[in-house]
Amino acid sequence: MYANTLELPQTISCNIFWPESDLMNGEKAFTLYTFTLGFFIPFVLILLFYFLVICKLRRVGPKNRSKEKKRSHRKVTYLVLTVISVYVMCWLPYWIGQVYITFLPPAPSHR
């Protein structure tokens, strides 16, 4: 990845030049890399660790739990589902947009 500045009258812009390869261009590789590290791996880890927490809660204590204990475990389960849902709702639209912009060819402009 290389950056260069372009000077026009009254403006200066910074442009990124992605290295090209026969297999994949740099922009697509960077998008996949950041999607994997920035969304997919954290999502899988969140699911895994919260699943382990819920499983541990279900194993703790005697089989004939009180109603209050069951309600407490249900609240924790709902909280976990809420945290996971909020994470997905906040980040998935962004990543869908990034992948869409990167991998779909631009539409021809009609001028």
List pLDDT tens digits, range 22-42: 777 888 888 999 999 999 999
Predicted TM-score of the model (pTM): 0.71
Residue-level pLDDT at 1: 60
How far is it, in rounded angstroms, from Cα 61 to Cα 11? 67
Every domain of the chain and the residues it spans: 24-103
How far is it, in rounded angstroms, from Cα 59 to Cα 73? 11
Q: How far is CA 49 from the centre of its chain?
A: 17
Residue-level pLDDT at 63: 65
List pLDDT tens digits, range 52-106: 988 888 887 656 678 888 888 889 899 999 999 999 999 999 999 999 998 887 7
